[in-house]
Amino acid sequence: MRPINISQNIISLSEFKNKATKMLNEIQSSHRPLVITQNGKAAAVVISPSDFDLLIEQARFFEAVQRGLEDVQNGRVLPDEDLGKEL
């Protein structure tokens, strides 16, 4: 996912409604998220399905790393020689 370009990637809800097909095509091709505003405030962020899948995959990876670090901190580890025996 590429960074947001403030001048191109923030639009009002009414503009999004009028140009939905075009906006969705641009999100697909540019891989830039689109911020939709309502009453002058950010209301939603639209990303492509592939970018969403990537975010979910990254979140799962970070959660797994965090669990591993917690295991180390809490002593839930096996020495190398014990791991070799287990395998």
Domain locations in the chain?
10-47
Assign 82 a pLDDT band (cuts: 50, 70, 90). Answer: confident
The predicted structure's pLDDT at residue 7: 67
Cα 39 to the chain's mean position, in Å? 25
C-alpha distances in Å from residue 17, one per residue of 2, 20, 69: 23, 5, 45
The predicted structure's pLDDT at residue 8: 77
Residue pLDDT, tens place only, 14-67: 999 999 999 999 999 999 999 999 999 999 999 999 999 999 999 999 999 999
pTM score, two decimals? 0.74
d(C-alpha 67, C-alpha 45), whole Å: 29
